[in-house]
Amino acid sequence: MSNSFGKLFTLTTFGESHGPAIGGVIDGCPAGIDLDLEAVQSQLDRRKPGQSKITTQRKEPDQVEFLSGIFEGKTTGTSIGFQIQNTNQKSKDYSHNVDVYRPSHADYTYDQKYGVRDHRGGGRSSARETANWIVGGAVAKEIIKGIKITAFTSSVGEIFIDKPYQELDFSQIEQNMVRCADPVTAEKMIEHIGEIKKQGDTVGGTITCVIQNVPIGLGEPIFDKLHAAMGHAMLSINAVKGFEYGSGFCGARMKGSDHNDLFNQDGSTQTNLSGGIQGGISNGMDIYFRVAFKPVATLIQKQDTIDAKGNKVEMQGRGRHDPCVVPRAVPIVEALSAMVMADFYLLSKAKSGL
């Protein structure tokens, strides 16, 4: 079931970039939840293209339609089907790609694995799929209402926020088009992406996510440690190359005497290099992690590549593409985080106090 996500709260998805619709089935959502459909839609709007001069100018309304599982505004405990029509497919933008393998895309591997491939806009490998995740995440958030999940762009290329997240004002994130929590850095990022775009090039970046007000005890060792499931989720996002939580790769350079988080008497810790998770279980401190995105592979530059017969060909991206995917990925990181947290919340409930 490689198109399903989660154990108790699950999302099963379908859809190609240029088919009639994408969508999915949310299973395991408890009954009786007031579902604010406008809130769901507003999350989708955060992800959709065409929001600013630094994102693709492709316009898609991305209107979610719920088909089941909700009655008179409340979830009924049955599976929630939904779909999002693909209304603005310009398949002909991709007609020149029928037999061409775009470098660092999934064209070659899909073709080798499956033998057939919907080449239009990347087909199933397109990031259009992530719109489904936004819907799943928006429903998940209703299950874990007290938990606060905040993601933001923490670096673009070599430009990064050089403050700990505790010093940032999260209310700034949606105030700038890169979704950076630091306004000054945001300006630099926007300028940099603008330059990259002019070059027909793209640039990578990182997203930091902070999860606050987490109940103690979420996570299911040995193989469903909270951070392992979270890493799995983040590594499922298109273009992600790395995941670290708490001290992350920096922690690998440290000594134990510097790294250990000493306890306060109430069980909280004085530092939080653990990143809110110990032994795979949340300890009530903030969970925070960082996700690395490679630069978008589609360039508005000429590139040498091959076609399906192994002939050398020259290609140039002609579609409408993002020079930097990171700002639009911010709500995706939040959505997947919400699904992971909701899933573990339900798992935890199953086993608690008989």
Which segments are annotated as binding site for FMN? Answer: 124-126, 238-239, 279, 294-298, 320
Q: Residues within the annotated binding site?
A: 47, 53, 124-126, 238-239, 279, 294-298, 320
Binding status of residue 164 toward a second copy by CB under 8 A:
no
Candidate segments 91-99, 169-177, 178-186, 310-318, binder of a second copy by CB under 8 A: 310-318
Token pair of 95, please? 């007609």
Q: Which is nearer to a second copy, 38 or 314 (CB)?
A: 314
Instruction: Report, in Å, the least distance between residue 337 CB and a second copy.
Output: 15
Instruction: Report, in Å, the least distance between residue 171 CB and a second copy.
Output: 25
x-or-dash pattern for a second copy, window 250-289, by CB under 8 A?
-xxxxxxxxxxxxxxxxx-x---xxx-xxxxxxx------
Binding status of residue 4 toward a second copy by CB under 8 A:
yes
Of 276, 268, 267, nearest in space to 248 by CA: 276
Q: What is the CA radius of gyration of the chain?
A: 21
Write the DSSP string, 100-164.
EE-TTSSHHHHHHHHS----GGGGGGSGGGHHHHHHHHHHHHHHTTT-EEEEEEEEETTEE--S-
Rounded distance between C-alpha atoms, residue 318 and residue 58, angstroms: 12
Question: 102 to 121, contacts with a second copy by CB under 8 A?
Answer: 103-106, 108-110, 112-118
Half-sphere exposure of 294 (CA within 13 A, CB side): 12
Rounded distance between C-alpha atoms, residue 224 and residue 232, angstroms: 10
Residue from 188, 225, 318, 320 binding a second copy (CB under 8 A): 225
Binding status of residue 83 toward a second copy by CB under 8 A:
yes
